[in-house]
Structure 1
Amino acid sequence: MSGQSAETAGRAPAADDGGGRPATGIGARTGAVLVFGSSAAVLVVELVALRLLAPYVGLTMEMNTTVIGIALTAIALGAWAGGRAADVVAPRRALGPLLALSGLVVGLTPGLVRLAGLSEGALALLVGGLCLFLPAALLTAVTPMVTKLLLVDLEATGTVVGRLSGIGTAGGIAGTVLTGFVLVSVVPVSVILIALGVVLLLAGVLVDASLRERRRRGRSVLLAGVAVGGSVAAGVAVPDGCDVETRYHCAVVEKDPEREGGRTLVLDGLRHSYVDVDDPEHLEFAYVQAIASVVDTAYPAGEPLDTYHLGAGGLSVPTYLEAVRPGSTSVVSEIDPGVVEVDRELLGVETGDHLRVRVEDARLGLRALDDDSRDLVVGDAFGGVSVPWHLTTREAVADIGRVLREDGLYTVNMVDHGELAFVRAAVHTLREEFTHVAVAAEPGAFEGAGGGNFVATAAGTPIDTAAWAERIAERGSGWRVVEGAELTEWIGEATTLTDDFAPVDQLLTPYPQRR
C-alpha cells in the first residue's frame, strides 16, 4: 500500500486546534446544539404557519396536509442540498449564513403573510408556503453541514451520523411539544415567529463570528442588527387584526352599526355568532333562528330546559334560552379557552350555575354526561368551515341519544355547498340513530341551487315540522323544513359517517364567503 498502513488508510486526519475540538472549528457539543436547535425551529415554524394562515385560507384537513407537505418537501430538499453543498463549500463558512438567512425569513413572515392576506387567500397561501419552505430547507441543511465538520474519523461515521440524527429528531419533538403545549397558548403567533427569527439571526451571527476571521465579525453583527430591526418593524407595522389571539383562532368582535348592542364574533375571518348584549332574545343569524324555532315549538312556552351545547361561539342560544325559559340550565363544552374569555370580557356573557362553560373537547364532554339527563342538545362546533369530524359520526350521535330524555331533541348547525355531500352524509347518519329527522335550510339548498347553513333536528318522538316551519316564517328567514320521503330522496346514496370512516373535510365543499 505504498508505505501507508491499513489503519491510517481507513482514517481521515483528526487534527486538534489545541482547544479540545477538531481543527474544523466546531466541537461535538456545539454541533449537537446546532442540530437540535435548527430541527426544533423547523417544527415551530411548521405548526405556527398553520395558525398564521388559518384566517386567510381556512383550517381544513386539506390545508393541514398542504402545510405539512410543504414542510416535508423543504426538509427533504434541505437535507439533500445541504449534503451536496457540504462537499463543495466549507461548512464552517456556511453555518452562520444559513441560520441568519432563515431567521430573517422567519421574522418577516407575519408581516408578509398578513400583507398578502389583504388581497386574497391564494396569495397568502403562496407567500406563507414560501416563508415556510425557505427557512425549513435552510435549517435542515444545518445537519449535513455539522455532520461534515464532525466526521474527522471514518471509523466513527455511523456513530456521528446516528447521534446527530437522534439529536435532530429530539429537537423536532421538543419544538413540537413546546409550540403545541406552551407557546400558542400564551404568546401570539406573530411574536413567536419574530422572536424565533431574532434568535436564529443572533445564533447565525455568533456561529459566524466564532468560525470566521475576527476582522469580519463586526460587519456580521451590524448586518444582523439591521435584519433584527427590520423583522420587528415589519411585525409591528402590519397588525394581526385580532382583538384576541386565542389558542385556536384569531378572534374579532365587530360592532353592528345599525344596532347599538349588536356584536358579531368573527373567528379566523368567519362570522360565527351574533349577540345583542342588550337583548338576548334578538337572533340575527338565520340558522340560530331555526334552532330557536324548533325549541320554541317542541316544548311549552316558558318551560325550563336542561341543555347541553357542543361548542360555545358567542353563547347566543344558551342566553336566549335563559331569557325565554327562566330556570333553564346549560352546560357548554368549548375547546378554546380564548373564545370563552371573549364571551365573558367582550360580549358580556355571565356564567354561573345556570350556564356552565367547560373548556374541553365536546366529544369527551358528551361522554361525561349522565344518561337521560338532557332535554336538548345543540351542536354548533366548527373548526374553520367544518364541523369537527368526530362530532358527526354514528358513535357520537348514539352518545347524544344516550344523554337525551325520551322526548329530547338534538339540533345541529352544519355548513356545506356545491354537491352537499357532507351534509347529506351527516343527515343520513342521524337517521341511523334517530327515528325522526328533519332539516331546515334556504329553499334553494334542497333544489341544488346553492348551499349555506343547514339545521338538522333529530328525535325519538315525532317532530312538529309544520309548527317549526311556521315559527321560522314568523321570524322572517324564509327557510323551508324537509322531512320524510322528500328528505330520503334528497339524501340519496349518502354514506354513514363512523369513527372508523368519516372523511368530513373531503366531502365538504367549502365556500370562501363568511357564514
Structure 2
Amino acid sequence: MATLRRRLWNPYALVFISSGCTMVIELVASRLIAPRVGVSLYTWTSVIGVILAGISLGNYIGGRLADRYASPTLLGAVYTLAAYACLLPLWLGEGLHAFRLPFETPLLLWIVIYISLLFLLPSIILGCVSPIVVKLSLTDLSHAGTTVGKIYAWSSGGSIFGTFLTGFFLISRFGTKATVVGVSVLLILLGGWFLATGPWRKALVRLGFAALLYVAAVLSLSRAGLLATECMLETDYSCINVYEKDQDGRSVRELLLDRLVHSYTDLDDPTYLAYGYEKTYAGLLQPLMSDRTGLDAFFIGGGGYTFPRYLQARLPDSHIVVTEIDPGVTRAAERWLGLPQDTAIETYNEDARRHLVTRGAEGSYDVVFGDAFNDYSVPYHLTTLEFARLVDYVLRDDGIYMANIIDAGPQGHFMRAFVSTLQAVFAHVTVIPSTAGWRDSLRTTWVVAGSQREIDLAHMPEGYLALAPETLEGYLAEKPHVMLTDDYVPVDNLMVPVAEASFGSGALDPETWAGVRGRVLGVGAGVLALVTLGGAGHALHRRRRDRAPADDSSAGAAL
C-alpha cells in the first residue's frame, strides 16, 4: 500500500485539485447568495475578498501545521475537514437567510459578515493544502525553488481550470447545490486516501470515523431538504421558478428570478397587465398605437414576455425584437408562460447593448423598452450617457424610450442620476412614480420616458400621474447627482438605500434561531470530531517518526 501511495504521490495534481475546488466554491458562492443579497459589485467584492482572506489565513495555518506535523495523515485530515466545511453553506445558508438586517447595521458590513459565515471556513481549510504539500515534497533543498515554483504554478492552473469549468459548465449543467456536493465528495475521497496510512486497523478506524461523520452530514442535509434544488430551472444568471397564483380575480403564472417577482402572465389573455409600470408603458404607447397597424419595438430584457406579447396582441403587424441575455428565461417563457416557440417575436439571447451596437440601424425603432433593472442588480452599462445616445440613434424622430427603475423616494440617488443622464440626450424626459406617496416610500418603481418630441400623457392609467416639470426640476435640485458615463457609473453605491430598505429590520425570530443554533452546534461538533481525529493521527505519526532511525528523515519517504 505504501509503495502504491508513493507511486501515486503527485504534489502538482493535489494543489491543482484543491485550488480548483476553491475557485468552484467561490463562483458558486455568488449564485448561492443571490436570492438573499442579489448580485452586485458589493457581493462580488465581498465573495472575492472573503475567499482570498480565507486562502491567506489557510496558507499561514497550513504552514505552521506543516512545520510541526507534516504527514499524509495531516493532509488527509485537512482534505476531510475541507469536504465537511464545503457543506457548510448548504447547512447554514437557509437559516442565515432568515436574519433581518437591523437599520443600524451598514448593508455592506452585513454582506461581508453573511458571506464570511458561509464561505470563510472552507477557504481557510483549502488554503492549508498547498503549504503541507510543499513540505512533503521538499526532499532536496537544492531544488526547492523549482519545486515550489512548479507547485504554485499548478495551483494557479487549478484555479483557472476551476473558474472556467464552473462558469461555463458545472452550474448550468448540474446546479449550484449539486456542484457543491460534488466538490465535497471529491475532497472526502482525497481525504480518505491519505487517512489510510499506517497499520491497517488504525487506518480503518480513521476511515470509518471520517466516513460515518460525512455520511451523517449528507443524510442530515438530505432529510432537511437542503440538497434539493430550489429552482425549476437554474442558469448561469438566475434561479428561475414559476408559480400558479390568483391575481385580480384571475389565475396567473408568476415568474420569479432569484428573489424578484418579474412578471404575471395570464395564459388565456396576453393583454392582461398586472404591474403598474406595464400599464404606464401601455398609456405612453397609446398615442403611437392609435393610427398604426404595427410598431417596430425593441425590448431590453424579456422576462415573462408579458409586454412583448401584449404589444403583439394589440398590434399583430408589429416587428418586435427582444434581447434576453439568459437563454433559460426564454426557455421558461416557452415552457410555462405560453410563449409559442414559433412566435413572430424575435429573441436574441445576448446583451442588449452589444445587440444595438452590432445590429442596430439608425432610426429603426418606434419604441425601446428597458426592463432589465431591479433593486439589487442593475446592469450599469445600460444606464450610461453613451447607452442613452445609442438608444436615441436607433429611435425614429418621434420614437420614445421607456425604462422602469427602482429607487428609494426620499434619497433617490439612482433615479436622479438616471434622469439627469437621459436629459442630456433627450429633449423631453418624463417621470411617472408608481405611487402618489413616492416621497415617503423607501422603495418606489418609476417609469422614466425620454423622447425628442413632446410626450403625450393623455392616456395614463388611473392613479399614475407624471411629475410636473417644476416638481421634477425641484426634486432633482434637492440633492447633488452625477452624470452616469461608461467611465464613471457608481450604480451600486447609488442603490445602497433601496437595498437596505429591502432588507428591513428586526431580529431573528426564536423558532428560526433555534434551527440555526442547532445547525451551528452540529457543524461545530463535526469539526471538533474531525480535528480530534486528525490530532490523534498526527500524534501517532510523530511517535513513529521519533522512533525511526535518525538518517531516515526524508519527508517524501513518509509517503
| CA displacement 1:177-202 (0-9 Å, x = unmatched) | 10011111211101000111111111
2 CA distance for matches of 1:446 and 1:203?
A: 57
2 CA distance for matches of 1:18 and 1:266?
A: 54
Residue 380 of structure 1 and its aligned partner are, at CA, apart by: 0.4
| CA displacement 1:25-48 (0-9 Å, x = unmatched) | 757952111111001111100110
In structure 2, the residue matched to 1:8 is none
2 CA distance for matches of 1:382 and 1:70?
A: 27
Q: What SS does the aligned partner of 1:149 have?
A: helix
In structure 2, the residue matched to 1:221 is 207
Counterpart AA for 1:233: L
In structure 1, the residue matched to 2:508 is none
Residue 18 of structure 1 and its aligned partner are, at CA, apart by: 10
In structure 2, the residue matched to 1:377 is 368
In structure 2, the residue matched to 1:14 is none
Structure 2 unmatched ranges of 5 or more: 103-109, 504-559
Cα distance change on mapping 1:291 and 1:300 into 2, 3 Å? same
Cα distance change on mapping 1:30 and 1:348 into 2, 3 Å? same
Residue 175 of structure 1 and its aligned partner are, at CA, apart by: 0.6
In structure 2, the residue matched to 1:230 is 216
Answer yes or no: is the 8 Å Cα contact 2:50–2:115 preserved in 1.
no
Q: What SS does the aligned partner of 2:231 have?
A: coil
In structure 1, the residue matched to 2:89 is 109
In structure 2, the residue matched to 1:491 is 476
In structure 2, the residue matched to 1:4 is none
Residue 165 in 1 paired to residue 156 in 2?
no
1 CA distance for matches of 2:318 and 2:398?
A: 16
| CA displacement 1:322-364 (0-9 Å, x = unmatched) | 1111211211111111111111111111244621111111211
In structure 1, the residue matched to 2:498 is 510
In structure 2, the residue matched to 1:176 is 163
1 CA distance for matches of 2:112 and 2:348?
A: 34
Residue 118 of structure 1 and its aligned partner are, at CA, apart by: 4.6
In structure 2, the residue matched to 1:154 is 141
In structure 2, the residue matched to 1:462 is 454
2 CA distance for matches of 1:193 and 1:332?
A: 34
2 CA distance for matches of 1:124 and 1:216?
A: 44
2 CA distance for matches of 1:348 and 1:119?
A: 37
Cα distance change on mapping 1:351 and 1:369 into 2, 3 Å? farther
TM-score in terms of structure 2 length: 0.82
Counterpart AA for 1:195: G
Q: What SS does the aligned partner of 2:10 have?
A: helix
Q: What SS does the aligned partner of 1:360 have?
A: coil
2 CA distance for matches of 1:152 and 1:270?
A: 56
1 CA distance for matches of 2:485 and 2:412?
A: 18
Residue 231 of structure 1 and its aligned partner are, at CA, apart by: 4.3
In structure 2, the residue matched to 1:435 is 427
Cα distance change on mapping 1:423 and 1:18 into 2, 3 Å? closer
| CA displacement 1:196-218 (0-9 Å, x = unmatched) | 11111111101221x44322222
2 CA distance for matches of 1:256 and 1:313?
A: 17
Higher RCO structure, 1 or 2 (CA under 8 Å, sep 6+): 2
2 CA distance for matches of 1:431 and 1:127?
A: 39
Cα distance change on mapping 1:233 and 1:196 into 2, 3 Å? same
Answer yes or no: is the 8 Å Cα contact 1:99–1:204 preserved in 2.
yes
2 CA distance for matches of 1:381 and 1:450?
A: 20
Counterpart AA for 1:164: I
Mapping 1:317-332, distance limit 5 Å: 317-332=307-322
Alignment partner for residue 425 of structure 1, among 390, 393, 417? 417
2 CA distance for matches of 1:177 and 1:351?
A: 31
| CA displacement 1:250-274 (0-9 Å, x = unmatched) | 1121222354431111111111111
Mapping 1:402-417, distance limit 5 Å: 402-417=393-408
Answer yes or no: is the 8 Å Cα contact 1:83–1:144 preserved in 2.
yes
In structure 2, the residue matched to 1:13 is none
Counterpart AA for 2:264: Y
1 CA distance for matches of 2:158 and 2:76?
A: 19
1 CA distance for matches of 2:101 and 2:204?
A: 41
The alignment-based identity, stated in percent, is 34
Answer yes or no: is the 8 Å Cα contact 1:327–1:354 preserved in 2.
no
Mean alpha-carbon deviation: is it higher for 330-339 or for 245-254?
245-254
Q: What SS does the aligned partner of 2:94 have?
A: helix
Counterpart AA for 2:314: V
Q: What SS does the aligned partner of 2:269 have?
A: coil
2 CA distance for matches of 1:114 and 1:45?
A: 17
Alignment partner for residue 73 of structure 1, among 53, 59, 62? 53
Answer yes or no: is the 8 Å Cα contact 1:335–1:360 preserved in 2.
yes
| CA displacement 1:104-132 (0-9 Å, x = unmatched) | 12135324312432555799985653331
Residue 459 of structure 1 and its aligned partner are, at CA, apart by: 0.7
1 CA distance for matches of 2:147 and 2:498?
A: 49
Cα distance change on mapping 1:485 and 1:260 into 2, 3 Å? closer
Counterpart AA for 1:462: E
Answer yes or no: is the 8 Å Cα contact 1:437–1:483 preserved in 2.
no
Counterpart AA for 1:479: Y
Residue 199 in 1 paired to residue 189 in 2?
no
1 CA distance for matches of 2:207 and 2:297?
A: 62
Structure 1 unmatched ranges of 5 or more: 1-16
In structure 1, the residue matched to 2:11 is 31
Answer yes or no: is the 8 Å Cα contact 1:302–1:326 preserved in 2.
no
Cα distance change on mapping 1:128 and 1:500 into 2, 3 Å? closer
Q: What SS does the aligned partner of 2:298 have?
A: strand
RMSD over aligned Cα atoms: 2.5
Q: In the comparison of the two structures, how many residue pairs are matched?
A: 486
Residue 241 in 1 paired to residue 233 in 2?
no
Counterpart AA for 2:41: M
Alignment partner for residue 269 of structure 1, among 256, 259, 275? 259
2 CA distance for matches of 1:180 and 1:395?
A: 29
TM-score in terms of structure 1 length: 0.88
In structure 2, the residue matched to 1:85 is 65
Counterpart AA for 1:332: V
Answer yes or no: is the 8 Å Cα contact 1:194–1:231 preserved in 2.
no
| CA displacement 1:221-255 (0-9 Å, x = unmatched) | 32343344334434432234322222211112122
Answer yes or no: is the 8 Å Cα contact 2:427–2:453 preserved in 1.
yes
